[in-house]
Structure 1
Amino acid sequence: MFKPTPNPPLFTVTPHQETETLLVNASETLSSLNALTCNLAFDLDTSQRAILLGIQQMAEMGQLLVDQALEQISPSPAA
């Protein structure tokens, strides 16, 4: 008998994706989040702007970590 999973996740990641593919997509998502938060921050008052810019900084730190991981698994050609 089929038994549904209680509270299944709304979003999932396809299993067995290559690490580089996952990191590239994470990088693009973080980059979009960075752009959205920067644009929105300047539409807010001072206290809300500070909170949103804090979130933006955390997204940027995540971006740096993902970019470094990508560089380690797939180094870019030396300039």
Structure 2
Amino acid sequence: MSVLVPLASAECVALLRRLIVYSDEKRYSAVEALSHDFLIEAIPHRAPYVPRVHSKHEIATVLEYDPNVDVSSLFFGIADL
């Protein structure tokens, strides 16, 4: 397995070995896989890309808008991303 995924850590290879087992009785379930050391250690407690939870006040302000404001210019070129 480490030959197929040369940059994988030992924990990653161990998890992969348990996930690619043909027998469903021996293969890890989703719960077992998600509680594997590789995933617990690899995923930080709070990933930087996870949006923070907003307060009710902030959500209320975000939902307020002026229908007379043209926001189409804000999305110009977004299809090019």
TM-score, with structure 2 as normaliser: 0.28
Q: Greater CA radius of gyration, 1 or 2?
A: 2
Q: Which has the higher contact order (CA 8 A, sep 6+)?
A: 1
The structure richer in helix per residue is: 1
TM-score, with structure 1 as normaliser: 0.29
